[in-house]
Amino acid sequence: MALLSNKRILVTGIANNRSIAYGIAQSLHREGAELAFTYHTDKLKLRVQNLSKNFDSDIVLPCDVSEDSCIDKLFVELNKKWSTFDGFVHAIAFAPTDQLTGDYVDTVTREGFTLSHTISSYSFVGIAKACRNMLTNSASLVTLTYLGAMRATPYYNVMGLAKASLEANTRYMANAMGPKGIRVNAISCGPVRTLASSGIKNFKKMLLCYQRQSPIRRNISIEEIGNVAVFLFSDLSSGITGEIIYVDGGFNIASNIDDVEQSM
């Protein structure tokens, strides 16, 4: 039995077929969910339209989360196809490139701070706020976060603060929407090679570090993230809300003793 039959889920954050949102869409589709998609810029329109065909969907709408008017318009348009739906995937993050390098204190700027927080954290509740009246009373909302929210991570810099805000946002949204039956959770995943990580200094080393140090001794895939998303959208997780679920092969729970031995 498919886990998500009769569920309608909106997927944001697809840039290409390596996007985490794409992996999630594959899993949701496999489990019978009906999907709709958003794209960020006109440049991505055709690509997302083409990818959406893999999921038998013809609902592809623009949404730049930096504009409230754009978020509002998204739901005016979606309402023409779906009067209610069962949740959305938030897979959106942005910090100006110059913020993701160098020493945190030297690099951070007020503008970089503001932009990264508004795009990467506010947008999660911004979207929820705009579609609240369209969500069914067992809806589920899922966002994507990273361990840099908890640990000061070289070069992740202000994005770490934005993810910490996103994780707190997840708890506050869960608490506010819980009484209506809506659940809100985050998946904290290990590094994945995507458009958002391609330009990042030392990203290859980071993948290698997770491969060597995580309990499962390999990197995780977008399919594995997608499968956890299926669980969070399904009624199997009906008792879980406000939670940060790690899909990182256990990296966050391990302290690497081998490194200590090597350095002795």
Pick one of ligand NAD, ligand 0WE, none as the site partner of residue 66 (Cβ within 5 to 8 A by kind).
ligand NAD
- Determine whether 22 is an active site residue: no
CB of 61 to ligand NAD, least distance (A): 11
Q: Which does 229 bind (CB under 5 to 8 A by kind): ligand NAD, ligand 0WE, none?
A: none
Q: Which is nearer to ligand 0WE, 23 or 78 (CB)?
A: 23
* Segment interacting with ligand NAD, rule: CB under 6 A, options 75-83, 124-132, 143-151, 255-263: 143-151
**What string of DSSP letters covers 64-85?**
-TT-HHHHHHHHHHHHTT-SSE
Question: Where does residue 33 rank: exposed (0-12), middle (13-18), buried (19+ CB within 10 A)?
Answer: buried
Q: Is residue 161 close enough to count as binding ligand 0WE by CB under 6 A? A: no
Place of tokens 């569920």: 7
* Residue 85 in the binding site for ligand 0WE (CB under 6 A): no
211 counts as binding ligand 0WE under rule CB under 6 A: no
Q: How far is the CB of 116 from ligand 0WE (least distance, A)?
A: 7
Query: Which residue type is seen at 6?
Result: N
> Other CB atoms closer than 10 Å to residue 240's CB: what's the count?
14
| Contact stretch for ligand NAD (CB under 6 A) within 59-67, 105-113, 212-220, 252-260 | 59-67
For position 61 contacting ligand NAD by CB under 6 A, the verdict is no
Which strands make up the sheet holding 8-11, listed edge to edge? 60-62, 34-39, 8-11, 85-90, 135-145, 183-189, 244-247
Collapsing DSSP to helix, strand or coil, 201 comes out as: coil
CB of 18 to ligand NAD, least distance (A): 7
The CA distance from 20 to 252, in Å, is 19
| Burial class of residue 47 in the structure, from the number of CB atoms within 10 Å of its CB (0-12 exposed, 13-18 middle, 19+ buried) | middle
| Sole binder of ligand 0WE in the list 37, 75, 122, 146 (CB under 6 A) | 146
What are the tokens at 102?
């160098």
Which one of residues 11, 71, 135, 189 is an interface residue with ligand NAD (CB under 6 A)? Answer: 189
Beta bridge partners of 36: 10
Helix ranges restricted to H, the chain: 20-30, 42-52, 68-79, 104-107, 110-117, 123-131, 158-177, 195-198, 203-213, 222-233, 257-263
Task: Let me know if 210 is a catalytic residue.
Answer: no
Q: Which of 146, 155, 210, 246 is catalytic?
A: 146
- Which residues contact ligand 0WE by CB under 6 A? 93-95, 97, 100, 146, 153, 155-156, 159, 191, 196-197, 199-200, 206
- Which residues contact ligand NAD by CB under 6 A? 13-15, 19-21, 40, 63-66, 91-94, 119, 144-146, 189, 191-192, 194-197
Which of the residues are catalytic?
A: 146, 156
